[in-house]
Structure 1
C-alpha cells in the first residue's frame, strides 16, 4: 500500500512538473492565432494574420537570417574544435587534462552579462570593430563547451585500440576513423551540435553587448519589437521557433535516436 502511494505521488509530481514546463508553450500557441491586436488568452477569435505579418517585417527577417547564419557557422567551428579537444583529452595527450576540461566549460559557469562585457572589451583590445565577426567569435566561445562535453562523454568508454585493429584489417587511418570512431561519437556529436546551435541562436545577454544598429540577432530584435509594437506577431514567431525545434528533434531521432542522445 505504501509503495503504491509513493509511486502514485511520484507520477503526480512528474505530471505537475511537465505541465509547469509546457504551460508557457501551451499558452503562446493559441495566442498566436488570435484576431485581436493585443495578447489575450483565451483568444476571442481565430486568424492567421500575425503569421502573415511576420513575413512582412524586414527587421525580423534580417534578424532571423543573422541568428541562423551566426548559429550555424559557430556550431560548425565548435564541432571541429570541440571534437579535436575531446579526442586529445581522452587520449591523454594534454597535460593536466581534467583541469583543461574544467577550464573549457568555464564560459557556461560565468554570468552572461559578465562574459558579454569581457568579450566586448577583448574585441576592442584586439581592434575587432565589426559586429558580425564579434558575434561569431563570442558565440564560438559559448558553444564549444557543449560540443566538447558531449563528445567527451561519448569517448569516455571508447577503446582506441579498435582503430588500430581496423588498420590491421586493411583500412587506412582516415577510413578507420570513419568506420570505427565516428559511429561511436555520433550521438554526442549531434547532441552537441543541437545544444550549440540553440545556445547560439537563443543567446541574449552576451549578444546585446556586441550588436549595433544594423546588426541585431533575433532575440534582441524581438525584445525591441516587444517594447515598440507589442502584438501577437511575437507569439507567431515563437510558435514558428517551437515548430523548428520539434522538427530538428524529429530529424535527430531519425538519424541517431533520442534514447541514445539522452543517454549521454
Structure 2
C-alpha cells in the first residue's frame, strides 16, 4: 500500500468515525439524561436516579400512547408484509404493460414529504366519510410501510428462482401452499429486514399521524410532543431510551436469526 493509499484510508476512516459519533451523540445524551435525578435536562447530571422510569409507569396517557403505537405498528407491518409480497410477485413475474410504472407508483409514498401525504390522506378519508381515528391511522401507516416491504421483497425476488415454485406445484402443492413452503422460507431475511424497518417507521411516524389522530387516539410521537409542551422533564428521555433498547433488541434478534451481514444484502 502506497503512502497516498494509506493517507486516503486514514481520512476515510476518520470521516466515517466522526459521522458515526455525530449521529450517535443525541442517543447517548438521551440515555444519560434519562438516569439523571435533576428535573431539568442537565448534562452532566448532578446525580443518578431511576425516578423517571418510575414516573413513566404512572403516566397512563403515555402508556396508552405506547400501546396504540405498538398495535398500529404490528398490524400495519403484518398487512404490509402480505400485500407487499403479493405486489412484489406480481411485478416480478407479471408480463403486463405498465409494470415498471406500477412498481414506481407503489414506492411513491417514500418520495413524498410526510406532511403532504398526511394532508392528502386526511382529505381522502374524510371525503369517503371515514372518521374512525384508529382505522384511519392503520390505513395511513400501511401506506407508509407497504413501500418499504415491497422494495425489499422485490429486490430479493430478483435473486429467486421461480422454477422452484413450478417444481413444488408439479409435485402436487397448491399455489398458496407452494408459496408458504418454498418462497417464504427463502425470503426470510428480506421479510425480517422489511418488517423491522416497517415496524420502526410506523412506531416513529409523526408527520402523517398528526393529521389522523383524535383526542382519544394519540400515537407515541404525538403524545410525546404534547407532553413536551406541557411539562418537559427527563421522562421523555426515559421513553426514548426504552425505544433505543427496543431497536437494539430487534437488531440482536435479527442477528441471531439471520445475521446482520445477510440482512444488509437486502
Q: Which residue of 2 aligns with 1:148?
A: 150
Whole-angstrom CA distance in 1 between matches of 2:103 and 2:76? 20
Match of 1:158 in 2: 160
Q: Deviations over 1:3-48 (max 9, x none)?
A: 1111111111111111111111111111111111000111110000
Per the alignment, residue 222 of structure 1 pairs with 224
SS in 2 for 1:223: helix
Superposition map of 1:1-264 within 5 A = 1-169=3-171, 173-264=175-266
TM score, norm. by length of structure 2:
0.95
TM-aligned CA distance change 1:106 to 1:172, over 3 Å? closer
- Check conservation: 1:155, 1:184, Cα contact below 8 A: no
3-state DSSP class of the match of 1:127? coil
How far apart are residue 50 of structure 1 and its match?
Answer: 0.2
In 1, the alpha carbon distance for the partners of 2:148 and 2:24 equals 24
Q: Distance in 2 between matches of 1:180 and 1:214?
A: 43
Q: How far off its partner does 1:178 sit?
A: 3.4
CA displacement at 1:220 relative to structure 2: 0.5
Q: Give the Cα–Cα distance (whole angstroms) in 2 for the partners of residues 183 and 91 of structure 1.
A: 19
C-alpha deviation, 1:168, in angstroms: 4.0
Which segments of 5 or more consecutive residues in structure 1 lack a partner in the other structure? none
SS at match of 2:217: coil
Secondary structure class of the residue paired with 2:130: coil
Say which is worse superposed, 205-214 or 161-170, in terms of deviation. Answer: 161-170
Taking the aligned partners of 2:242 and 2:144, their CA distance within structure 1 comes to 25
SS in 2 for 1:230: coil
